[in-house]
Amino acid sequence: MLNINKNIFYWNILTKKEKIHVLSRPHINSNKNIKELVFKIIDNVKKHGDLALHSYNLEFDNFKCKSFYISRKKIDNSSNLVSKKFKDAISIALSNINNFHSKQILSDLIVETYPGVYCKHIYRPIQSVGLYVPKGNHPLVSTALMLSIPAKLAGCHNITLCSPPPISNEILYIAKILKIYTVLQLGGAHSIAALALGTETVKFVDKIFGPGNIFVTEAKLQVSQCSLTSIDMPAGPSEMLVIADDLSNPAFIASDLLSQAEHSQNSQVILLCTKNFIVKNVIKEIQKQLLLIPNKNIILHSLKNSRFIVVNSLKECFKISNLYSPEHLILHIKNSKNFLKYINNAGSVFLGKWTPGAAGDYITGANHVLPTYGYANSYSSLRVSDFQKIITVQKMTKIALQSLSKSIATLSLMEGMNAHNQSIVTRIKFL
């Protein structure tokens, strides 16, 4: 059994350098070799299009197909090939996600900034978007929902769902119920290249959404720099930080940490608390619950990255949490809602012992596509507005232009913009 007692740290006896090390993420092997390999894949797709995609599908997924697109007939037939139990669960998740995200739709904004001067925001959907749904050992149906629902609510006209082959009937069923009929059986870096650059048969998109492995992540970063296609957010391995008090349930905490640890070998889980006995009890529970999990190889590996940190006060826990900027933050503390004021950086917050992280992954209605690897200090969870763009509109009456003309002249001439000033003078003379 894995010994994680060596991962216990007492914050106030650590040096500054040791504290930085304790809060460091697992090293991701996005080394020069991976960057070069992804660059070659993107370049090959750019030069050889479909031929390169067929070659990579065979090399990486052992999959051969005539067309990268799934037929509408096969998508429609998926409803006959999934269980009622699955359909019922998807129905509840879809309803909750749709309910929360539909409230995010913004109305046009108009402000009279000066008498006769009007500034307006109008919202328009991004015309074409690519939704990347990773596969792993099982189809990630929850990610398909989390990406597709806000894209539909935003009003995106051309939605391409892309996933490594062979695509499961469960993923196709989600595409069917959300009326997404452009489904690409492509995965990995070459699929991102196809979405960004286009090929003979694959149409390029304006923005790519969705998580993936290191190759997908690297490909998203590279195409965002070499094409007109943008991406949703930088991504890294999944992570969770738990803050616990003396009354917290160690079994609940352990189960949350284990559920997060099974995402990938590079996942990281952190426990912050004020008493040593809490850490000891949680570690005992982890060891106990591990015995009940059949496939624990990923968990055992990622637990090597775990941290159990004892500090002096709950307020200090929040300072450390803000420094770390976790993707998932769970508050296993009494009256947890009262502590929201101390949170500055987090992807998604889970309040109290009855709100497990797993619920947020699937069914609460909040989006589970979140900033990782410290990006929660500047990025937000995925939302409807990510699938939209804001266009500003301005209008002036002639009286307003006359009133502001001298100020415009002063500022434009100060910047040496004589033609700017002339555009005002021409109108004033006309008046």
The annotation status of 30 as a binding-site residue, yes or no, is no
What are the backbone dihedrals phi and psi of residue 161, each rounded to the nearest 5 degrees, phi first?
A: -95, 125
Query: Look-up: residue for tokens 């993707």?
Result: 327
Burial class (CB in 10 A: 0-12, 13-18, 19+), 160: buried
Alpha helices in 243-389 (DSSP H): 250-261, 276-290, 297-302, 314-324, 357-362
The annotation status of 268 as a binding-site residue, yes or no, is no
In the set 54, 328, 332, 368, the catalytic residue is 328
The annotation status of 232 as a binding-site residue, yes or no, is no
β-pairing verdict for 117-125 and 388-396:
antiparallel
> C-alpha dihedral over 4, 310, 283, 318, to 10 degrees?
-110
In the set 170, 218, 239, 327, the catalytic residue is 327
The annotation status of 43 as a binding-site residue, yes or no, is no
Check if 170 is active-site.
no
Instruction: Report the alpha-carbon distance of residue 32 to residue 12 in Å, rounded.
Output: 37
β-pairing verdict for 117-125 and 182-185:
unpaired
3-state DSSP assignment of residue 270: strand
Instruction: Report the alpha-carbon distance of residue 324 to residue 19 in Å, rounded.
Output: 11
The annotation status of 328 as a binding-site residue, yes or no, is yes
Check if 157 is active-site.
no
Burial 170-189 (b: 16+ CB within 10 A, else e): bbbbbbbebebbbbbbbbbb
Q: Which amino acid, residue 240?
A: M
Q: Which residues contact 288 (CB under 8 A, 6 or more apart)?
A: 254
Burial class (CB in 10 A: 0-12, 13-18, 19+), 133: buried
The annotation status of 245 as a binding-site residue, yes or no, is no
Check: CB of residue 167 under 8 Å from CB of residue 70.
yes
Instruction: Report the alpha-carbon distance of residue 126 to residue 80 in Å, rounded.
Output: 33
The annotation status of 368 as a binding-site residue, yes or no, is no
Q: Of how many residues is the chain composed?
A: 431
Q: Which amino acid, residue 367?
A: N
> C-alpha dihedral over 40, 46, 48, 54, to 10 degrees?
80
Instruction: Report the alpha-carbon distance of residue 374 to residue 366 in Å, rounded.
Output: 20
Q: Which residues are annotated as a binding site for substrate?
A: 238, 260, 263, 328, 361, 415, 420
Q: Which residues are annotated as a binding site for Zn(2+)?
A: 260, 263, 361, 420
Q: Which residues are annotated as a binding site?
A: 238, 260, 263, 328, 361, 415, 420
List, by residue number, the catalytic residues: 327-328
